[in-house]
Structure 1
């Protein structure tokens, strides 16, 4: 058996911990213990204590510390040792001496020197979940912890308190208590089962309805338009439709793998095909309006939308989108070469910004300032350039340390209003003569959607973002060379 770990939960108020090392790892391990018990007994021994650890020690004066090398006498009255130094020889010596004294050891990033692991921990009131990958992948354990922290509601603690009160009030033996608890919670299982059956019924009904409508309209259409007429209509479809079919397919693959970049990818690709600038942005916003509407509604339904942030993004974003669309229509007619240069430069900047996002490390939570300005500039550049709302607004909010689910959900719903405003502006100014572009983007994106979903689960986020950035920069450079 490869995984022989036995998970236990220690009462940290009765044990003493020794941490050897005062660098980044020592800081991380100290913070981990303090998060579980702010009054846990910790002693830190290190040749040098980092500035960040100094700050933590000043906030927690009960933590003992000495800035000097490790000595054998430090093992006195210690229950557990956490080694946080980069000196592997010293780490092994401490491990052997500690085990001789019957003390268990954890050595950071050295599983062979560990008697126990410090897993990633989910805290929700009385609920505590520890996650371990047997020392193989701490990053995966951390990602699972982040997922569970978002998935488990904060109200779980109320449920635990209620069930505990119910158990204490019950006077029967253990079997009677279990029977009562099963009866009280069986309604949840029944609802879930009925819900699944209802979903199956709805799915079957929907599939039957689709088949019926397809046959009904297919038969009705065949009685009005002959096969020969249909062939004539197909021949009259502009060649740009098929080009947009490919662009929509590729852009959806990119967006599915990365979570952003649909508009920028479409804009740079369509510029190479020589499509007029207002038609580029108008088509992209019309096609994207459907996906952003569905995505935004789904996020709202699942509670991933911050209403206050939505207001500060959507209202200025709509104003910026209308202004950006009008500006593009005016510049696109009179200064086409200059506008192409501006858009190519803009998309190149977005590509460089995507590279910055790809290499960005964990960000500390900061206060967001000038949210309205962010929404306005995002809407303006998105309408003017045919894309950029996601790379500009989403990346800015995430860089401030905001929770990803609320950022993506709120920005997605705000994007619907921004794309709707831009689409109406374009329609009112240039009409719907570019219908074949919109149809090609929507159809190509629809075909790519299932492939994009599979690609999103296999392609690493960093690799995908760098790939998009590379393609956008290459397309932008080619566009600038074409102008020159």
Structure 2
């Protein structure tokens, strides 16, 4: 398919936008327009307005609110229409009316109805870059925006001003001016050459090092030695490899479920309870560190929320780990019963989340209690930090960007604290479980990254909840 889009930059000083829909999508579209021009003229028609949208309206007299259903007269004097309702039949009807009047339309998440897209935009002074994926992947466009925002220097405006002055004062003809400007900006391209050289040098050096180590090992370890070594690996390692692979696929598609998927699967295989939680937290500690750092780097972390969740979560995780070590050794059947009941409840909670609509933003009370509960049950049950903490914050109307970022970074501290307790109490006797989970997750990571965002959130949550509930019931029946 050819990409026939032609990018243009609109002067919005005299443009009049109509937004139909006042929910989360309407809020996002309004914020997008205001970021480019705080004085842009916007009319919003909806039967419901998001609380944040109402707050924005109080600060901008150029925004008009009409709390009622859309009417044809709303199109009078409008240059562009943005449809942000969740009713496809309404969207189509508005689009047809607007088209009949020669008005350009953008319909959220319905590329077929769009005459134009609101791409991700990089703003650096006078420099503005618009990114579009032809309506196919807004997530990728947002990631590219974050990348370019980071790599383009903040002082680019100074370079632009210097080049503008040079251009305006140049006395030559067009060809001479173009030639001199090309020479002046040639350094931008040359700056990349050292990076390319360093990358090539690193690749060659790494390749030689791997060859050198491989050749050296081949003179010390024979093929038969490798075969004998593989025969000593417990069969459980390969089961853990598969469990880690599947759990990472699910987590990549849904954004949660790694812990409970591993825990319920390992309970069916009869793995000792402390080893279950200890292995999961050790394997998850690496991924949560990378994920949490990435979110912090991109500004997705609420520091106040992080403090309350992490500090109380660590206390809960330590107590939950000690409790499991004692309970798992002394009362194994009872512990299995408690854990299977817990994972069953988590599965039901995921089922509820799948059908629950996002609520308006509400004040969250007892953040410390939430962090403590999530940390305790995560350490005791081998998973559940995401289903408990993330789902609660989202249900309170918090933005998913800051919820996922903050919870991911806090999870690193929770998994670290739990892992320290398990290692000091149990040692490293379950190394093959940890290694299997890590390797399985590493193999699945590229595939999981491609699945992210492609599977509908509702369908993915239903799948995970069904899997967890079935596994939990199987463990429960096995015990009784």
TM over 0.5: yes
Show the counterpart of 1:106.
Answer: 104
**Following TM superposition, by how much is the alpha carbon of 1:221 offset from its aligned partner in structure 2, in angstroms?**
4.0
**Following TM superposition, by how much is the alpha carbon of 1:257 offset from its aligned partner in structure 2, in angstroms?**
3.4
* Structure 1 residue 340 corresponds to structure 2 residue 339: no
Show the counterpart of 2:398.
Answer: 401
Distance of 2:58 and 2:300 partners within structure 1 = 37
* Structure 1 residue 80 corresponds to structure 2 residue 79: yes
Matches within 5 A, 1:333-482: 333-359=329-355, 370-397=366-393, 400-402=397-399, 404=401, 408-456=404-452, 459-482=455-478
Matches within 5 A, 1:140-155: 140=136, 142-143=138-139, 146-153=142-149
**Cα 1:456–1:183, aligned 2, differ >3 Å: closer, same or farther?**
same
Contact 2:257 2:384 in 1 (8 A): yes
Q: 2:49 aligns with which of 40, 52, 58?
A: 52
**Following TM superposition, by how much is the alpha carbon of 1:423 offset from its aligned partner in structure 2, in angstroms?**
2.1
Contact 1:121 1:128 in 2 (8 A): no
Distance of 1:121 and 1:343 partners within structure 2 = 44
**Following TM superposition, by how much is the alpha carbon of 1:434 offset from its aligned partner in structure 2, in angstroms?**
2.5
Show the counterpart of 2:206.
Answer: 206
Matches within 5 A, 1:109-124: 117=116, 119-120=118-119, 122=121, 124=123
**Following TM superposition, by how much is the alpha carbon of 1:245 offset from its aligned partner in structure 2, in angstroms?**
3.0
- Which deviates further from its counterpart, 152-161 or 188-197? 152-161
Unpaired stretches in structure 2, ≥5 consecutive residues:
84-88
Show the counterpart of 1:219.
Answer: 219
Show the counterpart of 2:281.
Answer: 285
Q: Deviations over 1:78-99 (max 9, x none)?
A: 4737497949789767755x4x
**Following TM superposition, by how much is the alpha carbon of 1:11 offset from its aligned partner in structure 2, in angstroms?**
3.3
**Following TM superposition, by how much is the alpha carbon of 1:326 offset from its aligned partner in structure 2, in angstroms?**
0.6
Distance of 1:91 and 1:354 partners within structure 2 = 36
* Structure 1 residue 189 corresponds to structure 2 residue 198: no
Show the counterpart of 2:170.
Answer: 172
Show the counterpart of 2:250.
Answer: 254
**Following TM superposition, by how much is the alpha carbon of 1:277 offset from its aligned partner in structure 2, in angstroms?**
0.9
Show the counterpart of 1:101.
Answer: none
- Which deviates further from its counterpart, 292-301 or 369-378? 292-301
Contact 1:309 1:410 in 2 (8 A): yes
Q: 1:240 aligns with which of 236, 240, 245?
A: 236
Q: Deviations over 1:252-285 (max 9, x none)?
A: 3333433432221111011111122112112222
Distance of 1:339 and 1:401 partners within structure 2 = 35
Distance of 1:401 and 1:452 partners within structure 2 = 25
Contact 1:167 1:177 in 2 (8 A): no
Contact 2:371 2:389 in 1 (8 A): yes
Bigger-Rg structure (1/2)? 1
- Which deviates further from its counterpart, 295-304 or 344-353? 295-304
Show the counterpart of 2:322.
Answer: 326
Q: Deviations over 1:424-478 (max 9, x none)?
A: 2122223333333333333433444444445447645554443222211110121
**Following TM superposition, by how much is the alpha carbon of 1:327 offset from its aligned partner in structure 2, in angstroms?**
0.7
**Following TM superposition, by how much is the alpha carbon of 1:387 offset from its aligned partner in structure 2, in angstroms?**
1.4
SS at match of 1:122: strand
- Which deviates further from its counterpart, 432-441 or 351-360? 351-360
**Following TM superposition, by how much is the alpha carbon of 1:293 offset from its aligned partner in structure 2, in angstroms?**
3.9
**TM-score, structure 1 normalization:** 0.74
SS at match of 1:14: coil
- Which deviates further from its counterpart, 249-258 or 315-324? 249-258
Contact 2:92 2:113 in 1 (8 A): no
Contact 1:19 1:26 in 2 (8 A): no
**Cα 1:378–1:201, aligned 2, differ >3 Å: closer, same or farther?**
farther
**Following TM superposition, by how much is the alpha carbon of 1:383 offset from its aligned partner in structure 2, in angstroms?**
0.9
Unpaired stretches in structure 1, ≥5 consecutive residues:
99-103
**Cα 1:177–1:436, aligned 2, differ >3 Å: closer, same or farther?**
same
Q: Deviations over 1:225-254 (max 9, x none)?
A: x947963x6555444333323323322333
Show the counterpart of 1:11.
Answer: 11
SS at match of 1:119: coil
**Cα 1:154–1:349, aligned 2, differ >3 Å: closer, same or farther?**
same
**Cα 1:371–1:179, aligned 2, differ >3 Å: closer, same or farther?**
farther
**Following TM superposition, by how much is the alpha carbon of 1:23 offset from its aligned partner in structure 2, in angstroms?**
7.9
Distance of 1:415 and 1:25 partners within structure 2 = 27
Contact 1:131 1:141 in 2 (8 A): no
**Cα 1:407–1:212, aligned 2, differ >3 Å: closer, same or farther?**
farther
Q: 1:272 aligns with which of 258, 264, 268?
A: 268
Contact 2:82 2:105 in 1 (8 A): yes
**TM-score, structure 2 normalization:** 0.75
Distance of 1:459 and 1:372 partners within structure 2 = 33
Distance of 1:334 and 1:147 partners within structure 2 = 49
